Every structure is written in C-alpha cells, then in structure tokens.
Amino acid sequence: MGRKPSAKPTSFDIAYLAGVSQPTVSRALRGSKSVSLATRQRIQEIARELNYSVDKNASSLRSQRSHTIALLFFEDPTPDGANINPFFLAMLGAITRATANRGLDLLISFQKMEDDWHTRYQDSHRADGLILLGYGDYTLYAQRLTELVEHETRFVRWGSVQADGIGATVGTDNIAAGRLAGEHLLGIGRRRIAFLGQADEHYPEFADRYRGLTEAMADAGLAPDPALQLGALSSEGDGRAAIRALLESGADFDAVFAASDLIAIGAMRALAEAGRRVPDDVAVVGFDDIPAASLTSPPLTTVQQDLVAAGELLVETLADQIEGRARANRSLPPRLIVRASTTG
C-alpha cells in the first residue's frame, strides 16, 4: 500500500510500513482515539524506529492548527509570592506529561478576568484550546465562561462538576469528599465539627464539601451548627483568622474540616498559639494533599485529589473537542489520607 520508504522518513513512509493511510498516521501521532489503540501503538513504534518527528510547521499550515494548548492559571495570592495555588502547581506535572504524550506543545500563562482569552489564544492561532485552572469568585468567572461558549472557544476547566455547569468540566466529587472527611471525624468520636471555607455560590467546590460534611452528620443524627461554619478562602491567613474568630466567640468545637490544606495549616497554627492540642483537643482535616500537608506538626489528615487522572482527563477532554468530539463532564473519586492530625 502506498509508496516505498524514502531516504528521509515521512508520514507516508510510516503509512506504507504500517499498511494504513497517511491521514490515519497523522491522527495516530496526535494521539487521536479515532484510531484504535493497537494501530496507534504500531504506528508510534514504526515512527520511533525511523527516528521520525512531526514537522509541526507544515502540519499547522495544512490544518490551521497550532498543535498547542494553553494552560491558564488564575492568580491566587500565596505567602511565597508565586501567586499559584500549590495544588494547581502539583497538577502541572500531570498536564505536561499528558500533553507531551499526545505530541502537543503547552503554553502556560496567568489568566486575568479582564483578558480576552478567546482572541488572545484561539483566534490568533496561538493555541487550539484552553485548560483553565482556578477562578476565584465563580459568579464572576461564570460570565467569562459564557462568553467563551458564545465564541465557540474550545476549553475545559477544573472545578465543580454540575449538571448545569458552563462548558466542559473535570473535577473531584466534592460532595463525596466532604462525606469522607465527615465520616472519618465522626468515626473517631468528634461531634462538634467546624467547617472553614466560604460555602456559597461564589465558591461551589467549597459549598459541595460542606454539603458532604452535613450529609454525613445528618446520617449520624447530628445537625450542623451554623456558628461553626466560617467563611475562608484558600490561604493560611484565612485559616488562622477563622480559628481565632471561633475561639473568641466561645464556640464549642472538637474538630475542624478545612476546605483546603492551606486553610488547615493556618488553622493548626492558630490552635497551637491558643494552646489547643491537635488532635487531642481538636482534630483537623484538610483538602488537596499538597506536599506541605505531610510536613506539618502533626502531619495533616487530608482529602487527596487524583492529580495524575486529573491531568490526563483535562488534556483528553480538550483534545477530543479539538478533534470535533464532544465529551461529558468527568468527576473523579476522592481518597482520604489519614495522618496524625486526627489519629494522634
């Protein structure tokens, strides 16, 4: 089939040796799932044997694609001045690997609400689609997502997976995660559980985590105390301030479920400053399992999100959009990592 191999390997040479068409080779080398796994693997093996590399400039001219995806971070104030939530920084490695495995380039940038993301990246052919990480206030973010949909921008975001959500979304099952945390705290005998996180429409992931906690408490015959739910964003300073406010109010609590590890770390520091022992007096659970979670004193029990699967699904979902295939939202199961902040 086709022509015989030439001196300088081309995609036609690979097609000849694999017994397939040249378009099939092109799709396989892009990682397209329209080609069977066995065929993709055979084509990739032949390409390696021939030391073949894709001419991205020529490919882009033919397809009007850049073979690049843009990863946009939302700026999130952090103590070290990096302005990237450490959870998303940890996810970056998984996204980078998944992108490279598909033969795509990755453009990384901070996103700002006032920027025209569609024009800057897709219309200008700098990127074929967008991965959005972080967003701050969702009620403001939703307006920008609606604009992206109206412009037919190809994008996928990490966030709260909802039936009426805007655009393709990959995220953790936050309600199930809240249940995990609540059931664990209830299982070790805690009954007065404080939740630190802004649990409303502005931060739907935090709201879902709180909902999961309250469902676990309801199953145990307990009603949540509204006085034990304090708004906090994802920073150590917010966690410290929330605990100080609880202590000053005189509220009785024997456990804390923080909506992020950073909030939990700040809460633990405030508890130590107030002479409250963790976990003897107050058990603490965080969320995300960032690297610092295992280094606190005591090490932090936390809910872990599957970073590897998250990175792969974000890239896969966007790649399917670029290829013209719609993908349903994807929700990942959480995992509880038990450490000494709850078990002593």
pLDDT for 255:
98
pLDDT for 62:
44
Longest distance between any two alpha carbons in the chain, whole Å: 82
CA–CA gap between residue 96 and residue 168 (Å, rounded): 19
pLDDT for 229:
97
CA–CA gap between residue 48 and residue 53 (Å, rounded): 8
pLDDT for 23:
80
Same fold? 68-172+307-331, 174-305+336-343: yes
Indicate whether 151 pLDDT > 90.
Answer: no
Q: What percent of the chain has pLDDT over 70?
A: 89
Q: What pTM, to 2 d.p., does this model score?
A: 0.79
Summarize pLDDT for 182-210 with one digit per residue, the tens: 999 999 999 999 999 999 999 999 999 99
> Domain locations in the chain?
11-54, 68-172+307-331, 174-305+336-343
The overall average pLDDT reported for the chain is: 88
- For the record, the structure tokens of 153 come out as 């921008």
Sign of the torsion formed by the C-alpha atoms of 178, 184, 187 and 192: negative
Pairing of strands 283-288, 335-337: unpaired
Q: Please, which residues have CB within 8 angstroms of residue 101's CB and are 6 or more apart in sequence?
A: 31
What is the dotted CATH code of the domain comprising 68-172+307-331? 3.40.50.2300
Categorize the per-residue pLDDT at 1 as very low, low, confident or very high, splitting at 50, 70 and 90. very low
Summarize pLDDT for 212-258 with one digit per residue, the tens: 999 999 999 999 999 999 999 888 999 999 999 999 999 999 999 99
Query: What is the CATH T-level fold of the domain 174-305+336-343, as seen in this structure?
Result: Rossmann fold (3.40.50)
